[in-house]
Amino acid sequence: IDGGTGESETNGSVLDRSIRCAISLTQLGLKKGDVMVLMGPNHLNYCIPHNAALYLGIMVACIDCTLGVVELEALFKTNRPKIVFCQSLKTTDVENALNVSDVEAKVVTFDDDSNHTTLEQLLKIENDDAVKDFKATDFDPEETIAYLTSTSGTTGVPKTAMLTHKNSAIATPYVWIGLSKFPTPVRMSLVISQAQWLTAGFHYLFSSILKYTRLQTSAPVTPEHFADMVNTYKPTYILCSPVLMTTLAERSKCDFSCFEYITLGGSYVSPELIEQMKKLTQTDEIYNVYGMSELSGPAFVHDFQPAQGSLGRPVDALECKLVNPVTTEEILEPNVPGELWFRGATVFKGYHNNPEVTRETLTEDGWLRSGDIFYRDASWNVFFVERYKSLLKYRNHQVSPLEIESVIAKHPGVFHVAVTGIPDKECGDLVVACVVPKPGCSPTAQEIKDLVKETLTDSKQLRGGVIFLKELPLTSSSKINRKKLKELVLTSTRE
């Protein structure tokens, strides 16, 4: 169901349309190992080419549909797509980015467009026997890439994680491990994740297999729209970021008691929010989850009554160890903070066309450095301590400080720049830029804001303002001291 339009579709119709799309993709010459880019709102058409690509072994790169030409160029240079599906309003930006990045790709629109092939045209397969006799491509699920997921990983630099079919097949069921009814562990799941998130992809894959109704929306998720969907459809499950849930819980005029099971994740989940949601829903089935794109899904499960404040215990598919982030020595004692490393069947294959950063993230013997600090108790209940990386979260968006810094650094009057976030209860992080002007130059805050606005998408704008400094706080190794920077912006004058 698309809660934004009221349109609905059966699983049988989705299967038929997905097969027809797969046949057309094959006729266009696409094959296993090629890349498909999907960008659009979460409407009913979005999952059709998504499913078709997975049938054929085509790599699916779901990306933010609000990205501008500069951001698209960087992604296209990395992903090298053969086909791009988007809304007609975005075709000019897509084609400009393809030209600049020197990538040849066919552009297909989800909606009507007289200048481009449309999805509806791709679905016109006259030979019904071809649909009836269709067979998915035979490939090795351990080696074949299913998703190219945009992530800032553990370094803060935007890149694309390669997740195999095996990764997804093993990781996704852990989303449901706390539930006992199969099939149909929940009657209806409300999907408010943006279409490019893995948390939306979970439901594309599993709603038909587990036989529950998927309620999504092509409209922006405002408190009013959320309330309308809850009051109209009475969904029973939701996975949501704590920042967004805080806003929805306070501003949406609806009855949350229809929710039987809620998972919160993506950033720090406060005990206060857990308790607030238990009161609103009148259930204790409210859980704090932690996962990574590089892990293809959740890292921990609440298999038993969780220890207060914990994320649960590691999933069976993963080995885990805590290490000193400076010395990389393993921490064997409980209740000692360290960086958590993972190894196992759900760990990704690496970053697409980026072997250098892959080597920085994956050790030679297969351990994934999470970039986050945790501690464990004696029973291996795991507790989050702090983010070891500098990645910011604004509402539903991941924001890389380094990406914004690289834009601001192009201003002729900027000598040094560092970007961080100011904590905000509703938004997560408000992006703020700390700027050291070049000697003799006087760049203005408005010039800096305008530069970012002209180059980057809305979620990366400087809502926290601009701070002018004589120098940036540095570590002994001359790196920006991100911890001190976060403290500094709280007491400095912001413009």
- pLDDT tens readout for residues 50-70: 999 999 999 999 999 989 999
What percentage of the chain reaches a pLDDT higher than 90? Answer: 75
Verify that 379 and 397 share a domain, yes or no.
no
What is the chain's alpha carbon radius of gyration, rounded to the nearest angstrom?
A: 23
Q: Are residues 316 and 283 in the same domain?
A: yes
Answer yes or no: is 162 within a domain.
Answer: no
Does a structural domain hold residue 34? yes
Same-domain status, 110 and 224: no
- Decide if 315 is inside a domain: yes
**Is 163 inside any structural domain?**
no
Alpha helix (H) ranges present in 303-374? 355-361
CATH number at residue 487: 3.30.300.30
**Using one digit for the tens of pLDDT, what is the confidence trace for 4-23?**
999 999 999 999 999 999 99
Residues 301 and 333 in one domain: yes
Q: pLDDT tens for residues 226-275? A: 999 999 999 999 999 887 888 899 889 999 999 999 999 877 787 888 99
Q: Are residues 481 and 419 in the same domain?
A: yes
The mean-pLDDT minimum among 76-80, 95-99, 455-459, 481-485 falls in 481-485
In a shared domain, residues 178 and 111 = no
What is the mean predicted confidence (pLDDT) over 85-112? Answer: 97
Residues 269 and 374 in one domain: yes
- Token pair recorded at residue 277: 């949601």
Alpha-carbon distance of 2 to 369, in angstroms, equals 38
Mean pLDDT of the chain: 92
Q: Count the neighbouring beta carbons within 10 Å of the beta carbon of residue 271.
A: 10
pLDDT tens for 167-222 read 999 998 888 888 888 889 999 999 998 898 888 988 998 899 999 999 999 999 99
Least confident of 156-165, 303-312, 470-479: 470-479
Amino acid making up residue 349: K
Look at residue 149 and tell me if it is in a domain.
no
> Is residue 152 scored above 60 in pLDDT?
no
Domain with 317 in it: what CATH number? 3.40.50.12780
My answer on whether 406 and 436 are in the same domain is yes
Helices (H), 238-371: 242-251, 271-281, 355-361
The H or E element containing residue 25 is: helix 11-27
The reply to whether 332 and 200 lie within a common domain is: yes
405 and 298 both lie in a single domain: no
Domains contained in the chain, number: 3
How many whole angstroms separate alpha carbon 156 and alpha carbon 158?
6
CATH of residue 16: 3.40.50.980
Q: What is the mean pLDDT of residues 323-344?
A: 95
Q: What is the pTM of this model?
A: 0.82
Element containing residue 464 per DSSP (H, E): none
Structural domain for 477, as ranges? 392-491
Q: Is residue 347 part of a domain?
A: no
- Whether 220 and 182 map to the same domain: the answer is yes
Q: Based on the domain organization, do 184 and 258 belong to the same domain?
A: yes
Q: Give the domain-ending residue among 387, 412, 445.
A: 387
Residue 159: inside a domain, yes or no? Answer: no
Question: Which of 387, 411, 443 marks a domain boundary?
Answer: 387
396 and 193 Cβ atoms separated by less than 8 Å: yes
Q: What is the pLDDT of residues 370-406, one digit of tens each?
A: 988 899 999 999 998 876 666 788 887 878 787 898 8
- On whether residue 124 sits in a domain, the answer given is yes
Res 154: pLDDT: 41
Are 90 and 80 in contact, with CB atoms under 8 Å apart?
no
Residue 99 has pLDDT above 90, yes or no: yes
Strand ranges of the sheet holding 35-38, from the earlier edge strand across to the other edge: 117-118, 106-109, 83-86, 35-38, 59-62, 145-151, 159-164, 350-351
Distance, CA of 174 to CA of 131 (rounded, Å): 33
| CB atoms closer than 10 angstroms to residue 335 | 10
